[in-house]
């Protein structure tokens, strides 16, 4: 039976597919860590209270990258280059979503609007990350090899999503509601397209590594297109709503270290 659990179990059990999965994940987390570090350094004076939280977000992303690399190292595997068509972060940037790397390499402080764009981008992408990690936590949270890593990363992603909701609501109450909603909508509609394209590219590569039949590959691709159709019609709305989270000030303290994965 084809299910998320059986699919990931197959990827987990094969060294080459596991190495590709972890390399893609580690690359994305490393990019996110660098981006948040630069944004924290460039926060404008009027929003300096956000800088420690953004830096904590970046530290978490760096930690996740180290965890994925440690999972590979534990099996004697080296990372592989991330294929361009699977680079979720850069594909979003190419579509004008979030803050461009060229902008983040400058020393000019960000504007208030750019911080809103950053938070909207994070709110949408953290929704995706939190959902994916929650799925893995439900199916593999007790796995002897990856369970602890999955639980730790999933908890962090929940914190990141809560932080985005709270900070965007705070800015909305300060009069930025219309700007926030437009930024969220633009990002969500771009993200669901990029997620579809990256999912197709990753599954195509996994299929070649694992020797999937054409019928199975077509079935998976059909499922990915079906998810995109649902998200394009209605599912994207979950990415643009804002609700005050139960977990308040989620990034207001020190991050949880992962010494066993360092």
Residue range 140-199, pLDDT digits in tens: 999 998 999 999 999 999 999 999 999 999 999 999 999 999 999 999 999 999 999 999
Confidence grade of residue 259 (pLDDT, cut at 50, 70, 90):
low
Which CA distances in Å does 166 have to 71, 159, 160?
A: 33, 11, 10
All domains in the chain, ordered by first residue: 4-242 (1.20.1260.10)
pLDDT of residue 163: 97
The pLDDT value recorded for residue 226 is: 97
Question: Residue 82 in contact with residue 75, Cβ under 8 Å?
Answer: no
pLDDT at residue 252, as a whole number: 87
Dihedral angle, C-alpha 191, 194, 223, 153, nearest 10 °: -70
pLDDT score of 4: 84
- H-assigned helices in 211-261: 214-233
Express each pLDDT in 63-107 by its tens digit. 999 999 999 999 999 999 999 999 999 999 999 899 999 999 999
Burial 174-194, CB ≥16 within 10 A → b, else e: eebeebbbebbbbbbbbbbeb
Whole-Å CA distances, 215 to 94, 219, 222, 226, 236? 32, 6, 10, 16, 29
pLDDT in tens, 100-137: 999 999 999 999 999 999 999 999 999 999 999 999 99
Return the pLDDT at 255.
Answer: 65
CA separation for the pair 65, 261 (Å, rounded):
10
The DSSP string of 133-159 is HHHHHHHHTT-TTTHHHHHHHHHHHHH
* Mean pLDDT, residues 228-255: 93
Q: Using a pLDDT cut of 90, give the percent of the chain over it.
A: 92
Measured between alpha carbons, how far is 145 from 162 in angstroms, rounded to an integer? 28
Token digits for 210? 């694992």
Distance CA 181, CA 89 (A): 21
User: What 3-state DSSP class applies to 206?
Assistant: helix
């Amino acid at each position: 039976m084809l299910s998320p659990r059986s699919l990931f179990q197959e990827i987990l059990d094969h060294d080459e597919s596991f190495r590709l999965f972890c390399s893609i994940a580690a690359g994305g987390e490393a990019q996110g860590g660098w981006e948040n570090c630069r944004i924290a350094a460039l926060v404008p004076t009027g929003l300096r209270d956000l800088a420690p939280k953004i830096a904590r977000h970046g530290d978490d992303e760096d930690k996740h990258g180290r965890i994925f690399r440690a999972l590979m190292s534990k099996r004697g595997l080296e990372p592989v280059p991330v294929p361009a068509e699977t680079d979720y972060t850069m594909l979003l940037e190419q579509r004008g979503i979030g803050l461009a790397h060229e902008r983040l390499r400058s020393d000019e402080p960000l504007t208030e609007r750019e911080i809103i764009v950053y938070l909207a981008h994070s709110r949408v992408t953290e929704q995706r990350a939190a959902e994916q990690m929650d799925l893995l936590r439900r199916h593999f949270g007790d796995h002897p090899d990856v369970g602890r890593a999955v639980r730790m990363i999933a908890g962090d992603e929940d914190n990141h999503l809560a932080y985005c909701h709270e900070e965007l609501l705070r800015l909305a109450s300060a009069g930025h509601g219309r700007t926030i909603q437009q930024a969220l909508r633009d990002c969500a509609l771009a993200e669901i397209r990029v997620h579809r394209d990256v999912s197709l590219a990753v599954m195509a590569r996994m299929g070649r590594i694992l020797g999937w039949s054409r019928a199975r590959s077509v079935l998976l691709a059909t499922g990915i297109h079906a998810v995109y159709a649902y998200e394009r019609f209605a599912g994207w709305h979950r990415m643009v709503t804002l609700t005050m989270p139960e977990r308040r000030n989620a990034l207001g303290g020190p991050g949880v270290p992962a010494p066993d994965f360092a």
